[in-house]
Structure 1
Amino acid sequence: MTGYVIIIERDDAGGFSAWAPDLPGVAAAAATYDECVTLMREAVAFHLESLREHGETIPEPTAVGALTVGAA
């Protein structure tokens, strides 16, 4: 497993929100980018731990990366 990709977006209020394409429902929001990343690391870990505790299948990561590109 290489890890799960997270998508981080700036919100209208100037903070940040994030979500994981391979883990529906796992999301976080924070005032700063770094705090958002930290919260997502914790959310992913908590989610995977919960799946293990309940004997559910851990999804394999399918996203291989994220890239920011400029407009043409």
Structure 2
Amino acid sequence: MLHDKRLKHKWDQANVLSYAREEGISIGEEKGREERNFEFVVSLLTHTDFDIPKIAALARVSATYVKQVTKKIS
């Protein structure tokens, strides 16, 4: 199971890099965007009583992403 998680993480990173290259986005810009998304979602989770779909809509991320962030900060 741990191997599956590592493999998925590796594929996710490869997909992000591929997308960044196709879109002409530098890796630094992509990492910055990811950090801003994470920080914004954390802020909404900790300073509001919005539900997951509302936070996802405001941050323009998936509900799955919001759930992942929730697990990380718990």
TM-score normalised over the length of structure 2 = 0.41
TM-score (norm 1): 0.42
**Higher relative CO (CA 8 A, sep ≥ 6), structure 1 or 2?**
1
